[in-house]
Structure 1
Amino acid sequence: MKTNFSAFSLVLIIGLISLDSFGQSGSGGSYIDRPFIQEYSIVHAKSLSNPNQYSLASNQHGSVQLVEDHQLLKPFGGQFQHWGTLVKDLSYLPMADKQVQAIASYQGEFIYLDNKAVFSNAWAGSLYLEHRLPAAYIIDGGNDFDFLISDGKQVQYVNRDGKELILPAPNKIIAIEFDPVQNGFWVLSSEKLFLFDPQEKNLTEELSTPKMTSLSFHPEQNRLIVGTESGYFTYDIKAKIASELHAKLPWDEINVVEAQGDKIWFGTSKGAFVLLPNGDSHYYYLERWLPGEEVLDIAFGNGEVYLLTDQGLGTVVQTEMTLAEKAKLFDRYTKKNHLRHGFNASLKLAEPGKLETGVLDDSDNDGLWTSMYLASQGFRYAMTQDPEAMDQIRQSLLAMERLFTINPVAGFPSRSFERSGYIEKLSDPERWQHAPNPEWDWKSTTSSDEAIGHMFVYAVLAELVEDDWVKNKSIELMDTLMTHILDHDLYLIDFDGKPTQWGKWNPEYVNQFPIQVGDRKLNSSNIISMLQTAYHFTGKERFKEKAFELMEKEGYLENLMRPMSIIGQAGDGSDSYSQMLSESWNHSDDEMYFLGYWGLYKYAFNEELKANYKTAILDHWNAERPEKDGLWNIFGALVQPEKFDLNEAIWFLQEHPIDLINWNVKNSHRKDIQALEPNFRRQSISQVLSPSETRIARHNANRFNLDGNGNGRSVYSAGDIWLLPYWMGRYLKVIQ
C-alpha cells in the first residue's frame, strides 16, 4: 500500500554526532570524509495468523500501522539489536469495533477501509465515504479525496460527491495503484492490467500477461513496474510497450513492488531488495534485517523503509553518518561490550540475538584479536591524542603482557587466560593449563598467527604512541618473544618442552614444503618481518644476523618473494601434510601476511630489500583485490599510496553493517550472481557481495562465502574488523 512519511530519530538512540564534512575518493590519494547512508534494522516480531489478509501504512507523524485479519496493530518495544513485537493499536477506542480490512496512507494521513466505508481519524474525522462492497480489502486514493476499492471481484469508485460507481472485474483483482500523471487508477489481476478513468467511468484493458503479482507507478519515468512470479517488467504508459522480463535479481518471486523516488523496492518470498539508479541492488534477507522470509508489503517513512513479513515487521533505518561518526560508535560499543580482562572478545549468546544473555567469550586468538584492536587504538591515539584511547592502550597492553607472565615458560605468550575453575566451560578445554597462581588458568599451544599479531602491535605502539611506559613495555615484550624464538632454534616451545603445532620458523620445517605450498612463503615472510622489527627497536645484532642468515643461506628471501601465482596445491607426489596444508587457499594466511608486512616493509634493513619487499607485497595485494577487503587495501596504501584501491576500502567501511550479531545469512540461491567453477582461492562468484549482505566475518575469513549459519548466537567485535582499517587509514592519511 502507498505510504508517505514517518520518523524514528534513532540517531539519538545510538548516540551519533553530526559533522560538517565533504569528500571524494579515487584510485589513490585520500578520501575526505563525508556523510553517507548507514542502514540498520529494527525488528518487531509476530507471526501473522492470516498472512493473506494484511496491509501496511505509515503517516507523516512517524506512526506505523498494519491490518492483519481485521486487527489494527502497531510496533512496540523494538530498538537497534533489541527485537520488539506487534501489539493491538488501541489509540482510538472506536477502532476496536471496526471491521478494518485495509489501511493506506493518503496525503500523509492514515485512511481505513472497513466493511461499510472509507474513513479516517484525520481531518477531524470528516472523511467518511460509504461503499457497497462489504468484503473490499484493496484501496488506493486519487487526487481529490476519491478512492477506488475492490473485493477482488468488483471495483467501486467513491468520492465526496457521492457519485459512486461499481463495475464488475473481468479477472480477480489483486492490486490498485493511482497514477497522478494519467489521473487514473491502474487495476491489476494476475493475467491482465486495466486502467480505470474516473472521468470516463470505465475500465480499459491495457495489457495481458500471465503470472503478474504486483505493480507500482514510477512517476519519474512515467512507467509502471510490474512484479511477476519470476521477475519484473516495466510498462511504458505512453508507448504502451512492455519491456522484457528482468529476472537477474537477488530473488525473482515478487510479492510487492513500490517505487521510492529513483529507487524501486521489491518484496519477495525470500526477503526484499532495492534497485538503485546506477543498476546496483541491496538485498535484505533473514534476521539481520527481517523477522521472516516472506515480504508481503512495503511502506516508506522519513528515513525508514518498512517491510512487512509473515513473521512481523522489519524497519530498515537509513541515517546519515560519516566514517568518523561510525568509528565513534564502534569505539564506544567495543569498549562497553567487548573487553574481557582487556582482551578484544566476542559475546556468546545463550539465546539468539538477545544481547542481555551474552557472555564474554575466550578465544584461541585472544592475543591476535587484541593485537589488532590495540593497534587500532595506537593509530587512533597518534591521530587524536584522545585520553580514552590511551586508557584503552594501557588496559589492553597489560593483558598482552600478562599472556607472558601468567605461565611458567620464559618468553612464551599464552593464547589466553581466565580465572581458575572454568576450564570445562571454556573453548578447547584440553588446551588449558593451571597457572602457578592458583587463581588463574592459561591456554597453551600458541600459534604463529598469535606471534605475528604480537610483533605487529608492539611495533605500532613503540613507533607511534608518545608515552614512555607504552613504548618501553612494547619493546620489552617484542624482545621477550623474539629472544624465546631464537633461543629455541626458531620454534615456540610450549610447557611440555615441544614446539607448538604452528609456531615453527626453523628452515628444517619451512623448507620441507614444496615451493607451491603457501606455508613456505608465509613463514619465511613472517619471521623476517619479526626479526627486522625486533632489531629496529632493540638494536640487538643477533636479530639482524639471524634474518640475513635465513635470507642468504636458507633461501627465505627467495621464499617470500615467490609470486602468488605459483602458490597452489602440493600435488599427488607430495607428503600428506603438504597436501593437507594446500587443499585450498587459507584466508587466515592473508591476515598473517599483511600484519607482517608492517614490519617487513617499514623496518627493512636496506633500500634494496625494501624494494623487493614492495614487489612481494603488491603481488599479494593484487591477488587479494577481488575480495575488496578494507584492511588489505589500507595495507596497500602503506607501500603504494599513489595507487591502491581507495574506493573499495571506503566501500568496505561504509557498507559494513553496524549490527555485528552473527545472524544466519544466505545468498547461494540468488539469481543476480555469477557462479564460478571451484578454484584454489575459493572465489565462488565473479563479484564479491556487500558486507551488509554477507556473514559477519573477521579478516581471516573468505569474503566469497555466500552462506553462514551463525544462528544469532554470537556478537563479533568491531575492534579488529572495522576499527583497525579505519584508524590505520587515518594514520596513513588516506582517510582525512
Structure 2
Amino acid sequence: MTAKKTLAGLGLCMSAFTMAAGQATDYPFHQPVSLQYAMPDELKGSELKKVITDYNDNVHVLTDKGFYRTSGNALVRDVRFRPLAEKIPLDVTAQEGSGHLYYLYADKWLTNGYAGIPYMDLPVKGRYNQLAVAADGSVLLAGPGAAALARGGKLVNCAPPPEQVEQLQVNNGRFFALTTKGIYSLAGEKFVPLQAVRQPQAMAFRNGEVIIGTHNGYYAVNSQTGDTSLRLQQRVPVPDISALLVRNGRVWAGTPQGAFAEDSAGLYRYFASRRWLNEDKVKSMATDGEGNVYLLTSTGLNRISFPEHTLAEKAAYFQRKIRERHIRYGFIANLHLSRPGDAATSQMTDTDNDGLWSAFYLGSQAFRYGVTKEPKAKRYAWEAFEAFERILSINQLKGFPSRTFERKGYKNSDPERWRDSPDPEWEWKGHTSSDEFVAYIWIAAVLHEMVAETPEEKQRVADFIDKIMTHIIDNKYYLVDIDGKPTLWGRWNPEYINWYPETIGDRKLGSTTIIAGLQLGYALTGKKKYKDEATRLMNKHGYLKNILIDYRKITYTPGYKHMGIDMGTGGWNHSDDEMAFLTYWVLYRYAFTDQLKQQYGGAIRNHWEIERPEKNAVWDLIALGTTGDFDAAATLWWMRTFPMDLVTWQIKNSHRKDLTFLPANFRGQTTERLIPLDEQPVHRHNANAFNLDGGRGGSSELAGDEFLLPYWMARFLKVLK
C-alpha cells in the first residue's frame, strides 16, 4: 500500500465507486481502523513524552523510564543496542531526510546511523533537553536558557529565544523553535522572531508554511516572511490543539478531546473515544511511510491505519465475526463484555427484540443466496428460521410467538416477562410486540422469495406465517399472552388503531403492518380469509386511508395515553421508521392489485423523502426495491463509513465546533449534515442517526448484520457489482 493511496483513504475515497448504468463497481477503498498497543506494567504512572518513527517505519516512544518500541501489538523496552539499553534519553528525534534516530543524553548526543560515527560529548552536563537534526548533519540543541549548534565536530553556542523553548524542529534545512510566545527561526547563531503567537502549543510544516496550533484553532504563516498564509481555523472539531502533524498536505491535530484530520472534501474526520484511542488526551503524533498515524496519549500508544478493502471484503469480515461469536440458537446475539471492549470476555445474551435483530441477519443471508446460490447462505438462513419456528413451539399458546427463549435459569433481559415452557429445560419470553411481528412477515417474505425452492420449503414458511396470522385474527387483532390479555404493543384492532389521530404515527404504522401481514398470508397460503380480512379492514375501517396518511402530518400530539404512556409525546419515533421500511417490502411486493401497489408506492415515497437526510442504506434499498427511488451516493457512503468496531464505546460529538447545529426539532435532527457512521455512537437501524452522543462504556458489541443486509440487498438489486 503506498502512502499516497493510503492518505487518499482519509477522505474515505469519495470517488472509490463509479456508477455505470446505475450500478456501482466495488473498487477497493480505505477505511480508518484503530489499534491500541498493549502497555507494559512498568510504564504505569510514567510520563510518556513523544512518539517517533524512523526510516524503517519502526515506531518508538520516549518515556521518563526509558526508550520503548512497538513489537507486534505491544510496546516493549528497546534493548536492541546493548550500550543504550539501560540509558534513559532526554530526547530522541529522527533526522530530516534520512530518518536516522539521534539520541540526546545529559552528557552526549549520538546516533546508531552512519555506522555510529556522528557523536559528541557535551561540555556541560544536563544543559540541553531537546535536539533537532538537519539533513546535512547539523544538530541543534536547546535547554533552559541555552542553545547550541553542533556542526563539523564543533559546538557553537547560540543566543536562545527569550522564552522557554517547547519544541525544536527542522524544515528544509532550517531550524525552528516553538516557544511559549511564538515561533523563531535560527539565522546563523541567533534565533530571530518569525511570528508572535498567543499561547502557541504546536507547530508543523507544509510546503513553505508553518502550521501553528493554539488553544483556539490553527493557522499558517509563510516560513520565510511570517506573513499569514492561512487564516485561523476555528471551525474544527476541537480548537484546543496540543499536537500537529502534516501528512500529504493535510493537517492532523491532536487535542485534549481526541484528534482530527482534514479530509479530501474540505471537512474533518474526528477520532475520539475508545473506538479510536485508549484515552482522548493526545500529546504527540507521528506517521510512517505506509500512511499510518500514531497518536500518543498520557497513558498509551494508538495507531490509526487505513487498510484497503472492498465492500465485499468488509461483508466477509462481518460474516466471519457473526459466525464466530454472535449466533445463539439461530438468533443473532448481542454480546455482553465483562471487560469493556474485550471480545475474549464476551457472552451471548437475549434481548428484548431477538426476532427483529435476527431478521436483519436472516434477510442478509436470503439476499446473499438470491445473489450467489451459495449453500452456506441457504443453510444460515434456514438455521435462523429454526429459531423463529421455535418461538411458536416452545410455549403453550396456539400461534403465539414468544419474543425469545433460553435454557432455564439463564435469562437476561426483562426477567418479569419470562414464562415457564412445557419443556422444563427452557423458558420463553412473552409480551411480544409489533416490532417482532414486522420481523416475522419480513423473514417469511424474503425466505419465500429467495430461499424456499421446493414445495416443502415453501409450505414450511407458509405454515409459520399462517399460525401467527390465525392467532391474531382469532384474538380480534391482538397478540394475546399467557395471562389472556393483549400484549402492550401487539394490537391491530380497529378500535385501537383508529383511536389515534392522524398526527400520531401508530395509526398509520399499525394499519400498514397488519395489511402487509394479511396480504402475505394470502399469497403464501392461498386462504381467502386473509384477503377478505384485509379488504374489510381497508374498506370498512379505513386502514387503506390510514396507510396513505402523509408522514409530514406526524407531529407532537400530547394527551393520547395508552396504558399510562402518552403516545403523542417524545418526538419522532425512529423504531417506527425501521418497522415501516421492513414492512414496505412486504406491503408493496405482495399487494393484491396494481392499483394498491401504486397507492402503496406513493406512501413509501412520502416516507423515504422524509428519511433521506439520514442516508440509511436499508431504507434507500427498500425504496429502490419497491418504488424505484434510490440515493446511490448516500447508500455507498453509508456502507463505506459503517464502523468496523461495533463495541458500544461512549461517543461524544455534541461539543464539536465544525458542525452546524440545528434548532431543536420534532425529528431530532441535531446537525445540518450527518457525520460518518464511524464517528457516531454504535447503533442499530432503529436509532436516530443524528444522535451525537451515546454508548454503553464498551460493555457490549453488535454483530454486523446491520451492514450485511444492505450490502447483500445492493448486490441483489444490482446497484453494486
Q: TM-score range by the shorter chain?
A: over 0.9
1:731 shift after superposition: 0.7
> Aligned AA for 2:104?
L
How far apart, in 1, do the equivalents of 2:104 and 2:69 lie? 17
Partner of 2:588, secondary structure, is helix
Q: 1:224-274 CA deviation, whole Å, 9 max, x = no partner?
A: 211001111111335642243211111111111010012211000111111
Could you list the per-position Cα deviations for residues 602-633 of structure 1 after superposition, in whole angstroms to 9, with x for gaps in the alignment? 11122221121111111111111122222222
Post-superposition Cα deviations, 1:385-415, rounded to whole Å, max 9, x if no partner, equal 2222122112111111111111111111111
Aligned residue in 2 for 1:159? 151
The 1:228/1:730 distance shift into structure 2, 3 A limit, reads same
1:37 aligns with 2:30: yes
With over 3 angstroms needed to count, the CA separation of the structure-2 counterparts of 1:212 and 1:50, relative to structure 1, is farther
Counterpart Cα distance in 2 of 1:44 and 1:340: 31
Preserved CA contact (<8 Å) 1:99 1:115: no
Partner of 1:81: none
Question: After the TM superposition, which of the residue ranges 336-345 and 204-213 deviates more from structure 2?
Answer: 204-213
| Cα separation, 1, equivalents of 2:612 and 2:367 | 24
**Shift in alpha-carbon separation, 1:277–1:22, aligned structure 2, 3 A:** closer
AA partner of residue 59 (structure 2): V
Contact preservation (8 Å) 1:461, 1:470:
no
> Cα distance 1:263–1:471, how it changes in 2: closer, same or farther (>3 A)?
farther
Q: Please give the root-mean-square deviation of Cα atoms over the aligned residues, in Å.
A: 2.4
**Counterparts of residues 480-559 of structure 1 (less than 5 Å):** 480-559=467-546
Judge conservation of contact 2:504–2:567 (CA < 8 Å) in 1. Answer: no
Deviations 1:424-444 (A, max 9, x none): xx2111111111111111111
Alignment-mate amino acid for residue 68 of structure 1: T
Is the aligned partner of 1:731 residue 2:716? yes
Query: Secondary structure at the residue paired with 1:588?
Result: helix
The CA distance in 1 between the partners of 2:497 and 2:123, in whole Å, is 85
The code of the aligned residue for 1:447 comes to: S
AA at the equivalent of 1:399: A
Q: Secondary structure at the match of 1:97?
A: coil
SS in structure 1 of the partner of residue 323 of structure 2: helix
Tell me if the contact between 2:108 and 2:121 (Cα under 8 Å) persists in the aligned partners. Answer: yes
- Counting only pairs closer than 5 Å after superposition, residues 438-449 of structure 1 correspond to structure 2 as 438-449=424-435
Alignment partners' CA distance in 1, 2:616 and 2:590: 25
Q: Deviations over 1:356-385 (max 9, x none)?
A: 111101011111111111010000111112
> Which of 82, 93, 110 is the aligned partner of 1:93?
82
Kept in 2, the 8 Å contact 1:657–1:691? The answer is yes
1:140 aligns with 2:132: yes
Question: Residues of 1 paired with 2:358 and 2:563: CA distance?
Answer: 34
The answer to whether the aligner puts 1:702 opposite 2:688 as a matched pair is yes
Matching of residue 189 in structure 1 with residue 179 in structure 2: yes
Equivalent position to 1:335, from 323, 337, 340: 323
Secondary structure of the residue aligned to 2:36 is strand
Provide the C-alpha distance between the structure 1 equivalents of 2:108 and 2:530, rounded to a whole number of angstroms.
87
- In the alignment, the residues of structure 1 paired with residue 619 and residue 217 of structure 2 have an alpha-carbon distance, to the nearest angstrom, of 37
Bigger CA drift: 348-357 or 514-523?
348-357
| Structure 1 position 591, deviation (Å) | 0.7
Deviation at 1:417, TM superposition (A): 0.6
**Alignment match, 1:251:** 238
Structure 1 residue 130: Cα displacement:
4.0
Q: How does 1:388-403 map to 2 (within 5 A)?
A: 388-403=376-391
Contact 1:517 1:578 in 2 (8 A): no
**How many residues align structurally?**
703
Structure 2: distance between partners of 1:527 and 1:555: 13
User: Does residue 1:118 correspond to 2:109, yes or no?
Assistant: yes
Give the SS at the match of 2:580: helix
Q: State, as a whole percentage, how many aligned pairs show the same letter.
A: 36
In the alignment, which residue of structure 2 is the partner of 1:435?
A: 421
Check whether the contact 2:160–2:190 (CA below 8 A) recurs between aligned residues. no
Contact 2:158 2:189 (8 Å CA) reproduced: no
Shift of 1:661: 0.9
When structure 1 is superposed on structure 2, of 566-575 and 163-172 the one drifting more is 566-575
Structure 1 counterpart SS, 2:306 = strand
CA contact (8 A) 1:110 1:120 kept: yes
Matches within 5 A, 1:257-406: 257-301=244-288, 302-406=290-394
Which residue of structure 2 aligns with residue 422 of structure 1? 410
Aligned to 1:229: 215
The one-letter code sitting in structure 1 at the alignment partner of 2:428 is W
Judging changes above 3 Å, is the alpha-carbon distance between structure 1 residues 210 and 369 closer, same or farther for their aligned structure 2 residues?
same
Structure 2 equivalent of residue 217 of structure 1: 205
TM-score, normalized by length of structure 1?
A: 0.91
Which amino acid in structure 2 is aligned with residue 695 of structure 1?
A: P
Distance 1:153 1:465 in 2: 77
Residue 637 of structure 1 is matched in structure 2 by 624
Q: Which moved more, 1:137-146 or 1:258-267?
A: 137-146
State the alpha-carbon separation in 2 of the partners of residues 148 and 48 from structure 1: 32
1:461 aligned residue: 447
* Inter-partner Cα distance in structure 1 for 2:638 and 2:681: 14
SS at match of 1:356: helix
Structure 1 gaps of 5+ residues are 9-20, 79-83
1:722 paired with 2:707, answer yes
CA separation of 1:63 and 1:688: change in aligned 2, threshold 3 A: same
The superposition leaves residues 662-716 of structure 1 with CA deviations (integer Å, 9 ceiling, x where unpaired) of 1111111111122222221112222222111111100001111111141111011
Change in CA separation of 1:626 and 1:130 when aligned onto 2, cut-off 3 Å? farther
2:9 is matched with: none
Query: What is residue 566 of structure 1 aligned with on the other side?
Result: 553
Query: How much does 1:138 deviate?
Result: 2.8
CA distance in 2 between counterparts of 1:152 and 1:676 reads: 49
5+ residue gaps, structure 2, are 7-14
Return the offset for 1:152. Answer: 4.7
- Work out the CA distance in 2 between the residues paired with 1:436 and 1:452: 27
Query: For residues 32-75 of structure 1, what are the alpha-carbon distances to aligned partners after superposition, in whole Å with 9 as ceiling and x for unaligned?
Result: 10111122111125576454x61211234342111111511234
How far apart in 2 are the matches of 1:259 and 1:569? 48
Q: 2: distance between equivalents of 1:672 and 1:132?
A: 50
TM-score by length of 2: 0.93
Residue deviations 1:100-136 (CA, integer Å, cap 9, x gap): 0122233233332222333222333233244457343
Task: Work out which structure has the larger RCO, using CA pairs closer than 8 Å and 6 or more positions apart in sequence.
Answer: 1
- Does structure 2 conserve the Cα–Cα contact (< 8 Å) formed by 1:226 and 1:234? yes
Separation in 2 of the partners of 1:578 and 1:552?
Answer: 30
1:34 aligned partner, one-letter code: Y
Q: For the residues of structure 1 that align with 2:625 and 2:618, how far apart are their CA atoms?
A: 11
Determine the C-alpha separation between the residues in 2 that align with 1:473 and 1:164.
Answer: 89
**Kept in 1: contact 2:558–2:567 (CA 8 A):** no
The structural deviation recorded for 1:76 is 5.1
* C-alpha distance 578-596 of structure 1, shift in aligned 2 (>3 A): same
